[in-house]
Structure 1
């Protein structure tokens, strides 16, 4: 069992957390002064970029705050008191939220105030806040998205096996939880309840304590998932964390239309263009799988579109510039400052 767990840690295909934490603790040791004196020069790179319009389109997608509407809000003075200076931001219980924001907040004056809401959010904060995820609903402007918990969420994979070489099945491994407890993922529970034992499904929960003991299986590496034509991407606490690497593979992501989004802009995904859409009650799963098994060229078109979508997140220089401008706009709109 110990050897099995150690082997999984070495081969699972996920980002190594010890590298992530090592880099970020070293980052804390670099004086912020070096970044603050370079901020203006860094922001000026936007005007020299051939992607200027694209960058600002993404900035305004993540950050939909508007200074005029904020200033005219009757609650403006009260919620502004709930913001805290950057210098007083404590380490979060989930350290990734502190580290992933610190990478960019260190560029700005530490007297600026903000609100960081760590965790998997499915509701809109009552004041403008930095979040990892937001619900896809009208009036979600207070949720300003940044690229958070990226060590777990932003994984891309190189898949050398073509779609037609893979098994005519859908695979799922994930946490479900126990009904009636915190962290219970009802949609995943309903899916396994409906399709457990189905010949076109390889399903299992990787960590469970509920009565359905037969659902509990060993973890699979990302590479092992790639033996299947279809990989299920079901939302958990917020988004489906596997969607990014699935869309970078030569398998098809299968899921209902998303209800939440992150830095990956799940709200911009087009059903049956970037992924295979199934109904929220999962009733058409077998029909959708059989369709793309019978029409591999259409499946490969979706895979090509998914790869094109994923590609926009792979330029680290551009990702940094988008992140800095999201924060710049946040501080300008909430602190009433100009850079």
Structure 2
């Protein structure tokens, strides 16, 4: 468990593989990678892939890249972050002259120009934000919950950084609530209170609770993916941002318990699912099944490359999508 959930260990393992690939593996060996991954796929599987590609890249009309678009060599390599290595692994599979617009980090706005990003607002007009599986090692890591739902504590848990107004509003209401073990792990901002600060908890420690809060930060909530693999019930307001995880497709009452934006119904929801454990376990099972969509490593790589290919084709840099 510690090996899978400890951030430092995951980062060490990630860079131990990414850095040698960067310096030692010739880019020419990546050519044809997409064709090799496509071999043997039947029409039904291709149709399923196409549906997800259309979700990640909603663009349908041709467009031109901006004057600031760059080739792979133009992506700053002196900042060798997980974003950089994830993007590089995809771009190496395409001709070196292709150019892209991109934005690393927490993107919580709609881009002015079609761009490759990790996140976007959930809306009908977010097509300029083309989603890729970036910073994947932070958001997608396997978890095995050793605790049964019925053996967990009858409380809601949350640990995270405070500072955003919506997180501060939540802490102001529930920091001392008897149904909650919640707190921020950073120093309080001007709008915060010292008694909101609580010691950090490991993922395994949080798994001992029946209810886990997922609350968005600058964009999506980073704990949502590991909650979806747990035997705990996820409680959250309807998400406003999405990533490769397709948060916009999560269904309240099926994958998670929806809370009001002001969290006023939190005690009521906890009481309900304490009294109805079978309902809670059904939602947990549905959320676990949802996460399994993203666990096929080969298919996930193929999808990323096909999204990239669609972007490059619509921008006139490849023959066809």
Q: Distance in 1 between matches of 2:105 and 2:80?
A: 8
What residue is the counterpart of 1:31 in the other structure? 26
Q: Distance in 2 between matches of 1:54 and 1:94?
A: 33
CA spacing shift, 1:212–1:92, aligned 2, 3 Å: farther
Please list, as runs of the form range in 1=range in 2, the aligned pairs for 1:123-138 lying within 5 A after superposition.
123-138=109-124
User: Aligned to 1:239, what secondary structure does the other structure show?
Assistant: coil
Q: Distance in 2 between matches of 1:318 and 1:11?
A: 21
For each residue in 1:212-239, what CA deviation from the matched residue of structure 2 results, as whole angstroms up to 9, or x when unmatched?
1111121111110011110000000100
Cα contact 1:157–1:245 (8 A) shared by 2: yes
What residue is the counterpart of 2:178 in the other structure? 199
For each residue in 1:21-57, what CA deviation from the matched residue of structure 2 results, as whole angstroms up to 9, or x when unmatched?
1111011021111111x24532532744752211111
For each residue in 1:107-127, what CA deviation from the matched residue of structure 2 results, as whole angstroms up to 9, or x when unmatched?
001100101100101101111
Q: Distance in 2 between matches of 1:199 and 1:260?
A: 30
CA spacing shift, 1:286–1:328, aligned 2, 3 Å: same
What residue is the counterpart of 1:83 in the other structure? 69
For each residue in 1:118-167, what CA deviation from the matched residue of structure 2 results, as whole angstroms up to 9, or x when unmatched?
01011011111000000001211110000111121112311122211111
Q: Distance in 2 between matches of 1:186 and 1:257?
A: 17
Q: Distance in 2 between matches of 1:209 and 1:26?
A: 40
CA spacing shift, 1:67–1:43, aligned 2, 3 Å: farther
CA spacing shift, 1:92–1:310, aligned 2, 3 Å: farther
CA spacing shift, 1:49–1:151, aligned 2, 3 Å: farther
Q: Distance in 2 between matches of 1:46 and 1:87?
A: 33
What residue is the counterpart of 1:4 in the other structure? none
User: Aligned to 1:51, what secondary structure does the other structure show?
Assistant: helix
What residue is the counterpart of 1:20 in the other structure? 14
User: Aligned to 2:39, what secondary structure does the other structure show?
Assistant: helix
Q: Distance in 2 between matches of 1:40 and 1:305?
A: 32
What residue is the counterpart of 1:151 in the other structure? 137
Cα contact 1:253–1:276 (8 A) shared by 2: yes
Cα contact 1:87–1:111 (8 A) shared by 2: no
CA spacing shift, 1:162–1:43, aligned 2, 3 Å: closer
What residue is the counterpart of 1:5 in the other structure? none
CA spacing shift, 1:134–1:11, aligned 2, 3 Å: closer
User: Aligned to 2:315, what secondary structure does the other structure show?
Assistant: helix
User: Could you state the TM-score of these two structures normalised by the residue count of structure 2?
Assistant: 0.93
Q: How many residues align?
A: 316
Please list, as runs of the form range in 1=range in 2, the aligned pairs for 1:249-260 lying within 5 A after superposition.
249-260=230-241
User: Aligned to 2:86, what secondary structure does the other structure show?
Assistant: helix
CA spacing shift, 1:46–1:216, aligned 2, 3 Å: farther
What residue is the counterpart of 1:271 in the other structure? 252
Q: Extract unaligned runs of 5+ from structure 1.
A: 1-8, 71-75, 178-184
1:187 aligned to 2:166? yes
1:54 aligned to 2:48? yes
Cα contact 1:94–1:118 (8 A) shared by 2: no
Q: Distance in 2 between matches of 1:22 and 1:173?
A: 29
User: Could you state the TM-score of these two structures normalised by the residue count of structure 1?
Assistant: 0.88
Q: Distance in 1 between matches of 2:34 and 2:142?
A: 32
User: Aligned to 1:144, what secondary structure does the other structure show?
Assistant: strand
Note the C-alpha offset of 1:94.
Answer: 6.8
- Which of 213, 217, 221 does residue 236 from structure 1 map onto? 217
